Structure 1
Amino acid sequence: MSWDKYVSDQLLATGNVQKGAICGLDGSIWAVSEKWDVTAAEAKDLASAYKDPTILHQKGIVVAGEKYMFLSATDEVLRGKKQANGIHIVKTNMAMIIGYYADPVQPGQCATTVEALGDYLKSVNY
């Protein structure tokens, strides 16, 4: 299965994620939804934020040129929001899964979907 299939079949097909991406922790883009321009620089910034999320307090979370208000971070999850839309990012052993949701999808629905894929990838050492 290609990385594109993970985005289309495991994220977008659920209806809980409107746009998705999988990026390496080095900032490389493995797969991304059509017409969603997630950049390697943004991915690299997000990966470094897992080590020190304080920069997100000042700068917010930027994905595909869109700025989201930083909500919270753990060592594996970053959350951001912009009006009724938001972003949920999960770190695995080698990658990050970025999920975008828009109203009427609720944050928890997106989180459950993105984290389930993250748990699977961690279980197979990705």
Structure 2
Amino acid sequence: MSWQSYIDSSLVGSGHIDKAAISSAAGDSIWAASQWFNIRSYELKEIAKILEAAESPAEDQSAVATAQAEGIHVAGERYVVARIDERTIYARSGREGVVIVRTTQAIIIAHHDETQVAGRASATAEALADYLISVGY
């Protein structure tokens, strides 16, 4: 399956996510994305930095602390961080939100609009992440 197929079928095709992207875990390239979901390179690098710090609590946690205090930006929009754990960032902007999940080699960024349920969007993105991890990605 191509990376774009994961976006179109597994994420957006689920009906729980309206747009998504998959990038390298280093945050240096987008592998696939929904049309009009334009994540900027500096946003992607910052997301990768936050997830890397969250995964290793012994590392410098300033990126995590800044995200929790100031929020994160995805595709030009600011989101308030609700939670950051070892592999996932949950953030909201009003009733819309993003769930960002890191796998071994990739970062999944999934957006849900105000009509979609945040918990279902999170479960969908995390299920794809679990699958990618199981196959070495």
TM-score interval (norm. to shorter) = over 0.9
> 1:41: Cα distance to partner?
1.7
Residues in 2 aligned to 1:9 and 1:20: alpha-carbon distance in whole angstroms: 11
> 1:103: Cα distance to partner?
1.7
Matches within 5 A, 1:53-68: 53-68=64-79
Aligned match of 2:89: 78
Aligned match of 1:49: 50
Aligned match of 2:4: 4
> 1:57: Cα distance to partner?
1.8
Normalization by structure 1: what TM-score? 0.96
Residue 80 of structure 1 aligns to a residue whose secondary structure is strand
Whether contact under 8 Å (1:25, 1:43) holds in the other structure is no
> 1:58: Cα distance to partner?
2.8
Aligned match of 1:92: 103
Normalization by structure 2: what TM-score? 0.88
Residues in 2 aligned to 1:84 and 1:105: alpha-carbon distance in whole angstroms: 9
Residue 99 of structure 2 aligns to a residue whose secondary structure is strand
Please tell me the residue identity of whatever aligns with 2:42. A
> How many pairs does the alignment contain?
126
Residues in 2 aligned to 1:16 and 1:22: alpha-carbon distance in whole angstroms: 16
CA displacement, residues 61-93 of structure 1 (integer Å, 9 cap, x when unaligned): 110011001111001110100111000011100
> 1:96: Cα distance to partner?
0.7
Aligned match of 2:25: 25
1:120 paired residue among 117, 127, 131: 131
% of aligned pairs identical? 34
> 1:95: Cα distance to partner?
0.9
Aligned alpha-carbon RMSD (Å): 0.9
CA displacement, residues 6-41 of structure 1 (integer Å, 9 cap, x when unaligned): 100100001000010001122111111001111222
Whether contact under 8 Å (1:49, 1:55) holds in the other structure is no
